[in-house]
Structure 1
Amino acid sequence: MSRELADSLRWSDDGTDLFLGLTDGLSESKFDSASALPNWTRRHLVAHVAANADALCNLVHWAATGEVTPMYSSAEERAASIEQGATLSGPELNRWAHAAASKLGGMMGGLSESQWSAEVTTAQGRVVRATEIPWMRAREVYVHSVDLRLGAEFAELPEAFLHALSEDVIRKRGEVPDVEADLPQRVAWLTGRPSGLDDAPDLGPWL
């Protein structure tokens, strides 16, 4: 299926609302509970999503001004930011996540048609147009909403988003086995999340 900029912007907004709605008001003990990601608590996950918004703001700035501003100065800086964020209290984490998301949304809303066509480089070294930025954010907030283990499931995410995500993951992973499953299960499997597909091969981590 084709994915339009308007789709990505809508999914970015709606996924952000879902993620922040799940984490707002969590007790400290619930922040300290394990997420679905190995060795990460929910506190780590919220710090990661907040830092991701800050990093994507760098790409929006790049697109808007032409000034080269990488997402992260280094992989080490990225990891250190998450670890430092995981030491914050719940209210501090939520304030950071909300502020970073709001800034990113505002900056994306200010891009002109020509700026959306500007090329930027992702943290993985891929050169993409700025129109990929809201899609990158939508993937983060929707998938990590499920990773929070607070009730969100792939089956509850927009079907069109799941189709787009499935195509995106397959494009990046390369050829994958043909596994019979419904769309939410297949997307969970493709993204390396628990899927209930006991006979499907392990594809390894993604995102």
Structure 2
Amino acid sequence: MTLGETDQVARAALKARQGKGARYDAAGAPAEDLLMARRGTAYFARKLNELSDNDLDGAVLRPDWTRRHVIAHVSYHARHQALLLEALVKGVAYTPPNDEKHQMPALDLAATLPARALRHLFHHSEVHLNVCWRDLTDAHWDMPLTLPDSAATTVRALPMLRAREVWFGALDLDNGGRRTDLPQAVRGL
């Protein structure tokens, strides 16, 4: 049995053990791009976890930002993608909420969150986006999408946009991440 076949058998056995409630990416999903985004998220999480709560106030590579701003920005990026995908699955156009109750706080305000809350914001936004990706069918991946900045794209492009955001966000934290840590596919973006 080849390595690929062994991997397929192992995945099938895992799915059988996990049962019907577990979520998996659609067969037609951009697996390599999703992997790049998920690995980047893990890298960002590792760099974030290396920081003490006091370190979150430190300077970063982006002018006028702290590490708190980077964490909030990366978190909001995931949250915006998740909301776009939820709207797409429901068949409605995504419009950012305009009422105070549902609107995301401004980046400067989010940067003032307690350290624990900021860490949870990152974790929850990552989980939310992963759930949305796994809820997409093969047909959803090639649907057109308009980003909040009015750029036209397809759903299939979102994982690489996310990959770029988390990998470069990890470098922006300025706590030992190196450009050579980035996969070649992301470095070229």
TM above 0.5: yes
SS at match of 2:133: helix
- 2:9 maps to none
Unaligned runs of 5+ in 1: 166-207
CA distance in 2, matches of 1:21, 1:123: 29
1:110 and 2:135 matched? yes
Structure 1 residue 7: deviation in Å? 2.1
CA distance in 1, matches of 2:122, 2:185: 26
Aligned residues: 157
Quick one: which amino acid aligns to residue 103 of structure 1?
H
Structure 1 residue 126: deviation in Å? 1.0
Does the Cα contact within 8 Å between 1:32 and 1:43 map onto a contact in 2?
yes
Quick one: which amino acid aligns to residue 19 of structure 1?
F
RMSD: 1.8
Counterparts of 1:23-62 in structure 2, within 5 Å, are 23-24=48-49, 26-62=51-87
Alignment TM-score, normalising by the size of structure 2 = 0.77
- 1:91 maps to 116
Quick one: which amino acid aligns to residue 117 of structure 1?
D
Unaligned runs of 5+ in 2: 1-28
CA distance in 1, matches of 2:135, 2:124: 17
Percentage identity across paired residues of the two chains: 27
Q: 2:146 aligns with which of 121, 136, 153?
A: 121
SS at match of 1:125: coil
Does the Cα contact within 8 Å between 1:44 and 1:86 map onto a contact in 2?
yes
Q: Tell which structure's C-alpha radius of gyration is larger.
A: 2
Quick one: which amino acid aligns to residue 82 of structure 1?
L
Alignment TM-score, normalising by the size of structure 1 = 0.70
Structure 1 residue 103: deviation in Å? 0.9
Q: Greater RCO between the two (CA within 8 Å, min separation 6)?
A: 2
SS at match of 1:151: coil
4+ runs deviating over 4 angstroms: none
CA distance in 1, matches of 2:108, 2:136: 32
Does the Cα contact within 8 Å between 2:75 and 2:126 map onto a contact in 1?
yes
